[in-house]
Structure 1
Amino acid sequence: MEAEQVHATLLDRKGSGREMTWPEVEAWHPGQGVLWLHFDRAEEAVVQWIRTDSGLAQIVVEALLARPMRPRTLRVDDGLFLALCGVDPKHKSRREDRVSIRVWVEENRVISTGKRRLLAEEDLIARLENGCGPRGAAALVVSLADLLVLRMSDRAEEFEEGVDDLEDQLLERGGEGLGVNLVQFRKRTIALRRYLCLQREVLSRMQQESMPWFDKESHALLGDVNERLQRNIDDIDTVRERAAIAQEELLSRNSDQLNSRMYVLSVVAAIFLPLGFLTSLFGINVGGIPWEESAGGFIAFCVLLVVALAGQLVFFHWKKWL
């Protein structure tokens, strides 16, 4: 199997780890340490090995190779399957750079699949190379979940900064051109919160499972990860509420502007309605129109219009309509 298709790491159960070649993977036995294999599930050779040579149950094989999958937990005998999600700023995509990773955990072996290596995995490998990484399979998967949640914490902070900018734009520019940005921002926060809640359910279910290889230290660390994830969800809820308030304020301002313009148009129409009536009345082509034969008739009629206009303005001011 080619190097870009699989990344193999051997944990020495003391906090360190080293990369392994594929021949070393094929010769591995549990006495050497914990084996962590990460595969690119899109490769045909990977699919073939997982189906025929991995020794996994069929339900686990299908879960590791499935393409669309929501975060979930599945226990099979003494192993645990986890479908986790996270964010990976290194690889931008149309769906908020969300990424997923599927993990099968046994006492001495961890198999994960994804479309690519994630930043969380690279951080975990760096810890192993420095001798301060996880010491067992349980600690490995909990540390991976911890790093995924840590990246999500960064994204929650970015959303808080984003809603600050939107509120500043609303105050400084009066919300001009802000409507579309607010809608898109709310859609992004809703999508992220949905995946955070699903992730919380996965980690909570994992915490409830009593696996023989799940030590107390890893269990306690998983509790801390769950609490941090809940804080992220609370932060996203706060951001959503602030974005909703900003959108309501924008709609209120637009409504006030529309009402103000309609008010002006109504006043103008009310002012010119009697003037239009007088001009229409004096413009009919029948006999008996006042000042029809008078040389100063036009001037007299203009004075009448000015007086009528002034009377209306006084009346509107008295009624406090102006």
Structure 2
Amino acid sequence: MAKNRVKKQHKKLGKSPGSMIYTGEKSTKKLFIEVFDYNAEKCIEKELTSIQDAFDFKLSNSVTWININGLNHVEDIEKLGNHYNLHPLVLEDIVSISQRPKIDEYDDYLFVVLKMLSVDETDSIVSEQVSFVLGKGYVLSFQESEGDVFDAVRERIRQGKGRARTMQADYLLYILMDAIVDHYFTIIEALGEKIEDYEDSIFSGLASKTINKDIQDLKREILRVRRAIFPLREVISRIEKHESTLILKKTKTFYRDIYDHLIQVSENIDIYREMIWSLMDMYMTTISNKMNEVMKVLTIMASIFIPLTFIAGIYGMNFDYIPELHYKYSYFILWGVMIAMFVGMLYYFKKKKWL
């Protein structure tokens, strides 16, 4: 993982500010462009074959959402950015996927970066950078590859459900960001289930040999989720305080709802961080208790056999004159004494609740 991060950083070393260098690893076979152009009366949904086809929607009187999948198509993204007069640093940040969630304010548009989280087939958390540009009457979104959490948004626009078709572009940005933040709860739930599973396995004594590594991996996942979510609170706060015609006053109330959700998610993450440390302590305590049990058994066995070994050692000495050796029943008496000592010590340990 560290090597991959270094490689991504090396791609931009020595480049001038504003250079568009795609730093990701994912790639799509072709550039995917979808457009939703709508108002209260109509909705046009199109899948475009070239980036030039998206240029005409800039002059539309309705709300336009242009979604781009495939950040490796740098030239096409640059063409779209130039058409919408995006700053070169904005275009650079769009294709540089190591960005921290943030918001940049420009005269004619807002640039927002956040992380979209999902769980893959191996139950690992995958983070994908999503960038939004909010302008007068339009929202541009940029993703690394196909697959997102916006299906419900698309359906609401198609069917005209809720406020989506009657509101402006600032509300479109809200519902897109809200879809991403709502999906964070799915991630939190997945993390909680993992922690519960590890707790159960540790308590039941059925923990796998790799439980220590698994807990460390889970801790890193939680930290990665935390880094993706915590800065987003500042982004929402700045949107609420932003004073321009791009964000209407009546829409800021909806953004406040996203902030409330982020607080709730953040609190859960903090709880899970504490639980992870507790899991590690619990595992180490379990290992220590097992070791103590083993040591207790070995100590009791040693305590029982020390006096028996002492007696056997005395009568095993090679002296000529040991009176008891010549007695007819010495052997049986010695066995009786040793068995009596064995049983007596077991009874004593049991009474002391050491067994």
Q: State the TM bucket, normalised to the shorter chain.
A: 0.7 to 0.9
C-alpha change, 1:130 and 1:311, in structure 2 (3 Å) is closer
Q: 2:322 pairs with 289, 311, 320, which one?
A: 289
Query: What is the aligned partner in structure 1 of residue 9 from structure 2?
Result: none
Tell me the residue number matched to 1:177: 208
- Closer, same or farther in 2 for the Cα pair 1:15/1:196, shift >3 Å? farther
Measured in 2, the distance between the counterparts of 1:65 and 1:216 equals 32
Cα 1:235–1:307 shift into 2, 3 Å: closer
- Give the conservation status (yes or no) of the 8 Å contact 1:106–1:137: yes
Report the Cα offset of residue 106 of structure 1: 1.6
Give the match for residue 35 of structure 2: 9
Q: Structure 1: which 5+ residue stretches go unaligned?
A: none
CA deviation vs aligned residue, 1:215-271 (integer Å, no higher than 9, x gap): 012211100111112112223334444555455445444433332221121111011
Gaps of 5+ in 2: 1-27
- Contact 2:112/2:132 (CA < 8 Å) preserved in 1? yes
Q: Indicate whether 1:140 and 2:169 are aligned.
A: no
Task: Indicate the RMSD between aligned Cα atoms, in angstroms.
Answer: 3.3
The answer to whether the 8 A contact 2:125-2:187 is kept is: no
Instruction: Answer with 162-171 or 257-266: which moved more.
Output: 162-171
CA distance in 1, matches of 2:40, 2:244: 21
Q: For 2:148 and 2:270, how far apart are their aligned partners in 1?
A: 26
Q: Partner residue of 1:58? A: 88
In the TM superposition, what whole-angstrom CA distance separates every residue of 1:294-316 from its partner, at most 9, and x where no partner exists? Answer: 45443343334334445545665
Q: Which deviates further from its counterpart, 258-267 or 126-135?
A: 126-135
Matches within 5 A, 1:96-175: 96-132=125-161, 133=164, 135-169=167-201, 173-175=204-206
* Equivalent residue number for residue 301 of structure 1: 334
Instruction: Give the TM-score normalised by structure 1.
Output: 0.82
Instruction: Decide whether the 8 Å contact of 1:78 with 1:211 is kept in 2.
Output: no
Q: Is the 8 A contact 2:114 2:228 kept in 1?
A: no
What is the one-letter code of the residue matched to 2:189?
Answer: E
Counting only pairs closer than 5 Å after superposition, residues 207-286 of structure 1 correspond to structure 2 as: 207-242=240-275, 244-245=277-278, 248-286=281-319
Mapped to 2, the partners of 1:121 and 1:108 lie a distance apart of: 19
Q: Does the aligned pair in 2 maintain the 1:50–1:61 contact within 8 Å?
A: no
Is 2:70 aligned against 1:38?
no
Distance in 1, matches of 2:41 and 2:129, equals 26
- 2:13 maps to none
Identity of aligned residues (%): 20
- Give the partner amino acid of 1:137: A
Q: Which has the higher contact order (CA 8 A, sep 6+)?
A: 1
Secondary structure in 2 matching 1:291? helix
SS at match of 2:105: strand
Aligned to 2:14: none
Following the alignment from structure 1 to structure 2, what is the Cα–Cα distance between the partners of residues 248 and 198? 29
Question: Quick one: distance in 2 between partners of 1:156 and 1:86?
Answer: 13
Letter in 1 for 2:334: F
Range 6-15 or range 143-152, more displaced:
6-15
Q: How many residues align?
A: 319
| CA separation of 1:73 and 1:48: change in aligned 2, threshold 3 A | closer
Q: Structure 1 residues 167, 15: CA separation in 2 closer, same or farther (over 3 Å shift)?
A: farther
TM-score by length of 2: 0.75
Moved more, 244-253 or 190-199: 244-253
Give the deviation of 1:213 after TM superposition: 1.5
Stretch of structure 1 that moved more, 5-14 or 142-151: 5-14
Q: How far apart are the structure 2 equivalents of 1:188 and 1:202?
A: 22
Q: Which residue in 2 is equivalent to 1:69?
A: 99
